Amino acid sequence: MNGKSRIIERILADADAKCAEIAANAQMRSDKILAAANDKIVAERQAFQDKLTSFVAESARNKKSNAQLEARKYKLACKQSLVEDCYADAVRSLVDLDAKAKGALFAKLLTQYAEKGETVRVCQGDAAVLNQRLVDSVGKDLRLAAGFAYGSGGFVLEGEGYDKDLTFETLVAEIRPETEAKVAEILFGEGK
């Protein structure tokens, strides 16, 4: 039994050595896999942190750009409102002219734009100034219409199938494209 025992012991020792070698190799592979996994986790964490930092910076830039755009829009709207107010003031200035100045303005407009035989439809607020006597003084065989034109002041010339709108709102609107840049320059010190 002694020989058998030794053989068994040697087989067991060889098996233990082989197990230890297999376990050591498995532990070494496990350590390599764990180290690679840890390295990958660190790299992915850094990549995620870089993406997050980039996203936060981009988001901040976008918010700043949007805020600047909104500020420019608001500033432009305010400027446009001021320009609009200037033209509304121009209409009010025409409406507020005294009777003598309005009469001279109407005579000039009638002389320049009226054609023989047209009908003059005056705005209600100017009926006292633009009367038949003023219309006759132009000498183009004009007549006053029975009704009133729509507008805060001025008149409309009516002919066969056409109208010439010479109300204050229309007169101011007609000169606006030619004068708006200059008005903006005067108001803001820059072209519109």
Residue 104: closest CA among 126, 123, 89, 84: 126
Full pLDDT tens readout for the chain, 192 residues:
577 788 888 888 888 888 888 888 989 999 899 999 998 999 999 999 999 999 999 999 999 999 999 999 999 899 899 999 999 999 999 999 999 999 999 999 999 999 999 999 999 999 999 999 999 998 889 999 989 999 999 999 998 999 999 999 999 999 999 989 898 888 888 644
Q: What are the CA-CA distances from residue 54 to residues 49, 59, 60 (Å)?
A: 8, 8, 10
CATH number of 97-188: 3.30.2320.30
Q: Rounded CA gap, 59 and 160, in Å?
A: 65
The answer to whether 153 touches 121, Cβ cutoff 8 Å, is no
Terminal-to-terminal C-alpha distance of the chain? 115
pLDDT in tens, 132-179: 999 999 888 999 998 999 999 999 999 899 999 999 999 999 999 998
Residues forming beta bridges with residue 165, ordered by sequence position: 156
Mean of per-residue pLDDT scores for the chain: 90
CA distances (Å), origin 60, targets 69, 72, 102, 185: 14, 18, 59, 35
| Cα–Cα distance, 117 to 4 (Å, whole number) | 145
Residue pair 81/187 in contact (Cβ under 8 Å)? The answer is no
Its pTM stands at: 0.65
